[in-house]
Amino acid sequence: MATTSLDLAKVRNIGIMAHIDAGKTTTTERILYYTGMSYKIGEVHDGAATTDWMAQEQERGITITSAAVTCHWTVDEVDNTINIIDTPGHVDFTVEVERSLRVLDGAVTVFDGVAGVEPQSETVWRQADRYGVPRICFVNKLDRTGADFFRCVDMIVDRLNAVPLVMQLPIGAEAGFKGVVDLVRMKALVWSEETKLGEMYDVVDIPEDLRAQAEEWHGKLVEAVAENDEEMMELYLEGEEPTQEQLYTAIRRVTLASTGTGDTTITPVFCGTAFKNKGVQPLLDAVVRYLPSPLDVEAIEGHSPRNPEEVVARKPSEEEPLAALAFKIASDPHLGKLTFIRVYSGVLHAGAQVQNSVKDKKERIGKIYRMHANKREEIDRVGAGDIVAVMGLKQTTTGETLSDPANQVILESMDFPAPVIEVA
Q: Which region, judged by CB under 6 A, interacts with ligand GDP, from 20-28, 96-104, 154-162, 393-401?
A: 20-28
Assess contact for 191 and 180: CB atoms under 8 A. no
Q: Is 26 in the site for ligand GDP (CB under 6 A)?
A: yes
Interface with ligand GDP, residue 30, by CB under 6 A: no
E runs forming strands in 346-391:
347-349, 353-356, 361-364, 368-371, 376-379, 381-383, 387-390
Please say which residue, 140 or 401, places its beta carbon nearer to ligand GDP: 140
DSSP β-bridge partners for residue 386: none
Q: Does residue 19 have a known ligand-binding role?
A: yes
The nearer residue to ligand GDP, 128 or 365, going by C-beta atoms, is 128
- For every residue of 287-318, DSSP letters joined together read HHHHSPPGGGSPPEEEE-SS-TTSEEEE-S-T
396 a known binding residue?
no
* Of residues 177, 199, 203, the one with CA closest to residue 189: 203
Contact residue for ligand GDP among 12, 24, 252, 381 (CB under 6 A): 24
Residue 178 is a binding residue for ligand GDP (CB under 6 A): no
Q: How far is the CB of 336 from ligand GDP (least distance, A)?
A: 28
Q: How far apart are CA 240 and CA 211, in angstroms?
A: 20
- Residue 380 annotated as lining a ligand binding site: no
CB atoms within 10 A of CB 275: 15
DSSP state of 105: S
Q: Which residues contact 28 (CB under 8 A, 6 or more apart)?
A: 16, 64, 84
Q: How many residues bind ligand GDP (CB under 6 A)?
A: 16
User: Given the complex with ligand GDP, which of 24 and 328 has the nearer CB atom?
Assistant: 24
Of the candidates 46, 125, 148, 31, which has an alpha carbon nearest to the alpha carbon of residue 82?
31
Backbone angles phi, psi at 371, to 5 degrees: -95, 120
Q: Residue 18 or residue 322: which is nearer to ligand GDP going by CB?
A: 18
Could you give the 3-state DSSP secondary structure of residue 391?
coil
Does 23 interact with ligand GDP (rule: CB under 6 A)?
A: yes
Answer yes or no: is 86 a known binding residue. yes
Q: Cα–Cα distance between 127 and 79 in angstroms, integer? A: 31
Q: Say whether 356 counts as a known binding-site residue.
A: no
Q: Which stretch binds ligand GDP (CB under 6 A): 135-143, 193-201, 243-251, 364-372?
A: 135-143
Considering only the stretches 16-24, 122-130, 214-222, 379-387, report the one whose residues sit in contact with ligand GDP under the rule CB under 6 A: 16-24
**Does 283 participate in binding ligand GDP (rule CB under 6 A)?**
no
Provide the mask over 243-282, with x wherever binding to ligand GDP is found by CB under 6 A and - wherever it is not: ------------------------------xxxx------
HSE value, Cβ hemisphere, 13 Å, CA-based, for 74: 9
* 285 has binding-site annotation: no
Annotated binding site for GTP: 18-25, 86-90, 140-143
Annotated binding site: 18-25, 86-90, 140-143
By the criterion CB under 6 A, which residues form the site for ligand GDP? Answer: 18, 20-26, 140-141, 143-144, 273-276
